[in-house]
Chains A and B, each alone.
Chain A
């Protein structure tokens, strides 16, 4: 059974850092497209970052230079390191596994439970 269990998150002041974790079971993270999607309170879904099975990495412009996606194959876990956090980064963050794909991108067939990140002074 595919499962994504998230941890990390919480309350942080502007300029602070947090690391989110997404532990996978039932499949191998390094063989899959893994992404982070966030949802600000009461708002819609916003793609944040992706790591492809081959290791290519991309970020939304809004987080480029501040967030880093990575994976630990030995732990079958994906991470999102978030630095220099801003109030507008406040959101529930979801990790998600890629499913059916085009030549470039994939939909998300399994999602973590989400973790709330609150950035406030």
Chain B
């Protein structure tokens, strides 16, 4: 199975400041045939199911604010929240869907400083 790791485990950011979350896969999730990395990002708020934010590493799901940006390719990925809002307090997970089984990172908790 592909192992996903995330860093940091948690971070506290001031309102309006940037939050950066890293995700690494144990093997490449880049398909050479289409040059797409099969990496998704989810946001989970307390008591709610996860919500899809980003797919193919950098494509925002419909309705997701443009302050959320995904980047990276191959094995190293980043989710950036450019200007943290109060409603962004949540745990963020990366997931690879390149191979079976799909696997998730352990999550990064984002809080307000």
Contact = CB atoms under 8 A, between A and B. Distances in A.
Interface of A: 35, 44-47, 50, 58, 60, 94, 96, 99-109, 111-114
Q: Is the interface of B mostly helix, strand, loop or mixed?
A: loop
Nearest to B29: A102
Nearest to B95: A107
A116 to B, nearest CB: 11
A44 B38 contact: no
B61 A109 contact: yes
B40 A107 contact: yes
Interface residues of B, number: 25
Contacts of B107: 44-45
B112 interface: no
A96 B40 CA distance: 14
B49 interface: yes
A60 B1 CA distance: 11
Of A45, A50, A105, most B-chain CB atoms within 10 Å: A45
Contact of A111 (B49, B95, B97, B102): B49
A47 B52 contact: no
28 contacts: A44-B93, A44-B107, A45-B95, A45-B107, A46-B104, A47-B101, A47-B102, A47-B103, A58-B100, A58-B101, A99-B55, A100-B55, A101-B97, A102-B31, A102-B97, A102-B99, A103-B31, A105-B38, A105-B99, A107-B38, A107-B40, A107-B97, A107-B102, A108-B42, A108-B50, A109-B61, A111-B49, A113-B49
